[in-house]
Amino acid sequence: MPPQPIGSAERRFRLFLQSRGLRVTPERIQILHAVLDTEEHLQAEELAYLLQKNGSRVSRATVYRTLIHLVEAGLVRKVDFGEGHAHYENAAKGEGHHDHLICDTCGKVIEFFDPILERLQEEIAARFDFHLTGHQFQLFGTCAECRKMNIEENFV
């Protein structure tokens, strides 16, 4: 899927809000742009801080509510990395679907796509006569940098 231009995403979000009788506010549009402008997997609190740091007067409550709307509109993905809170990522960026490797030590997230894994998931679903509507695949472990640091610390 090619990257979706921000203008197109904004139009889509405006139409989404209007179709549900919700107001299109400058704060909601700021939140949309903040998510689309980052490559990070942001927590709602991080997003609120980032906006406030850049001079926005958007409230945390507005950030939380708007993220729900952005997920419903298909512009943002909500992912859980096993930490007890959600992270949000731009669903419109060019890579499309991907999965995650998550470091238990430093929290680093590595995105990857593997067509063999995707095909295997489809085969498993078919075997159980299960219609897939989506999935999240996450592998937890220790990244190369943390393993290297641990080895070096053991020899100091």
Give residues with Cβ within 8 angstroms of 154, minimum separation 6.
none
Please report, as a single letter, which amino acid is at residue 137: F
Question: Do 80 and 114 share a structural domain?
Answer: no
Please report, as a single letter, which amino acid is at residue 141: G
| Other C-beta atoms lying within 10 Å of the C-beta of residue 10 | 16
Question: Do 113 and 145 share a structural domain?
Answer: yes
Give residues with Cβ within 8 angstroms of 9, minimum separation 6.
32, 36, 75, 92
> Is residue 1 in some structural domain?
no
> Is residue 50 in some structural domain?
yes
Per-residue pLDDT, 62 = 94
Angle at 69 between CA 66 and CA 85, to 5 degrees: 70
Question: Do 111 and 47 share a structural domain?
Answer: no
Question: Does residue 155 carry a pLDDT above 60?
Answer: no
Question: Do 56 and 19 share a structural domain?
Answer: yes
Q: Rounded to whole angstroms, how far apart are CA atoms 83 and 71?
A: 19
Question: Do 112 and 49 share a structural domain?
Answer: no
Question: Do 53 and 103 share a structural domain?
Answer: no
Q: Which of 69, 90, 111 is the last residue of a domain?
A: 90
Task: Tell me the residue range of the domain where 66 lies.
Answer: 6-90
Q: Is the pTM of this model over 0.75?
A: no
Angle at 112 between CA 106 and CA 116, to 5 degrees: 135
- State the total domains in the chain: 2
Q: Rounded to whole angstroms, how far apart are CA atoms 112 and 99?
A: 5
Judged on CB neighbours under 10 Å (0-12, 13-18, 19+), 84 is: exposed
Question: Do 15 and 82 share a structural domain?
Answer: yes
For residue 61, which phi and psi values (nearest 5 degrees)? -60, -40
Question: Do 44 and 21 share a structural domain?
Answer: yes
Per-residue pLDDT, 152 = 57
Question: Do 86 and 10 share a structural domain?
Answer: yes
Per-residue pLDDT, 137 = 80
Q: How confident is the model at residue 3 (pLDDT cuts 50, 70, 90)?
A: very low
Per-residue pLDDT, 126 = 94
> Is residue 21 in some structural domain?
yes
Task: For residue 26, give the CATH number of its domain.
Answer: 1.10.10.10
